[in-house]
Amino acid sequence: MYFGLLGQQQSYFDGNLKFVQDIFKRVAANNYLRNLTLLETVTIGDGETPEILSHLLYQSPHYHWTFFVVNNMTDPRKDWPMSRNSIVSYCVEKYGSIEEMYQTHHFETTDDDKLIVDYDAGAIQAGDIIEVTNFDYEDEVNEKKREIKALNPLDLNAFLSEFNRLIGS
């Protein structure tokens, strides 16, 4: 649905002129981002795809692209949270093995600031700092992606109308 709204442009491929979707066309949802009453915070469940979340919120999987527009996401593989199984596979691939996945990434303070600090055996024993493994770090980065803004279902049609108007110009 989303790409169909973007229109087409002419491009040459192998010396032949062809029409292709204009995937570089973008619309900023600034009016909606400024009006936070039209947006609600939602938490993406483990394994939930954009299509599943769209179906849960809007009774249709076809509005999955609105999450990316509203949250200024450009790459679903990097911007959408991975499932629990996927984060483990990602870490094994990134760090080379399960053993390396559980090696120390850094140390951080146990207070709300969570400052990254150097190793200090006394501070560890006192409980002032903790070890953060590679997996812990990647999991925390992934978990921060779970809370996103979504259009209130009652405002979806107004957003779609405005989006269509803007993308058409």
Residue 2 is predicted with a pLDDT of 46
Give residue limits of the domains in the chain. Answer: 27-81+148-168, 84-143
Longest dimension (CA), the chain: 70
Residue 167 host element (H or E): helix 156-168
Q: How many residues can be counted in the chain?
A: 169
The pTM (predicted TM-score) of the whole model is 0.75
Contact 150, 67 (CB under 8 A): yes
Give residue-wise pLDDT tens across range 6-47: 555 566 667 777 666 554 555 655 555 556 567 899 999 999
